Amino acid sequence: MVALVTGAQQGIGRACALALAAAGHDVAVNWLDDRAAAESVAEGVQAAGCKAALVQGDVGQGARACAALVEAAAAALGPVEVLVNNAGIFPRAEFLAMEEAEWDQVLAVNLKGSAFCAQAAARGMVAAGIGGCIINLASSAVRGTPVGVHYSATKNGVVGITRSMALALAPHGIRVNAIAPGLTDTAQPRYGNTDDEVRAMGAALPLGRLGTPEDIAAMAVFLASPGASWITGQVYHVNGGGYMP
């Protein structure tokens, strides 16, 4: 089985790529601007006994760029059967000072990029006559964040497109689900917070700690597995109890 993970050079994307390889998937590692980091992920995939391919590209550059990513992955490894739409950005912005360009950039990467990567992957699955699995990354920020109106909008949008794509693609045997991570030990929560502040926020969660990228990746592996074969259109909140919708 071939998996494509967008934004896989670090953080949750890296963990998803390595966890999928450990579960037996060949992995196309999409990276943006750190080839050395991406090569490290590819080495980890290969160490698990699976094939890896590096696929550079920016999902925020529109439908053609997204299609090119999927085509490159398929050319290197075969038809993509699992897509993890992980690539995303969260530039903090006070709402009253937010610029239109900031809004456009976040929507282009987080929402438009996810939609068109999914479209390209699904088209490939249908053409190959195979079912498949698309996993979108939402966020606990669906409930709102004062310094991320644009970010929250995109992650609520991800929930919406997940449900709609699940309905549209079910006749083709393609499942679509979303994972909404809570406070996770990556670079993201450290923008504007010290390490001590981040640890304190983790300690305040019901389960008493920050999430790890591997916690999120474990859910991705499950959703890509036969054990999730009757699950589609769902949003899984993986957050240590910090948000219970």
Catalytic positions, written as ranges: 151
Task: For residue 129, give both structure tokens.
Answer: 């006559």
CA–CA dist 217, 11 (Å, integer)? 10
Contact 83, 133 (CB under 8 A): yes
Stated as kind and residue range, the H or E segment containing 134 is: strand 132-137
**Count of CA atoms in the C-beta half-sphere (13 A) of 241:** 8
Q: Is residue 174 classed as helix, strand or coil in its secondary structure?
A: strand
Q: Is residue 236 classed as helix, strand or coil in its secondary structure?
A: strand
Sheet with strand 235-238: strands edge to edge: 52-56, 26-31, 2-5, 82-85, 132-137, 174-181, 235-238
Where on the phi/psi map is residue 20: left (φ > 0), alpha (ψ -120 to 50), or beta? alpha
Pairing of strands 174-181, 235-238: parallel
Cα dihedral angle (34, 210, 135, 86), rounded to 10 degrees?
-20
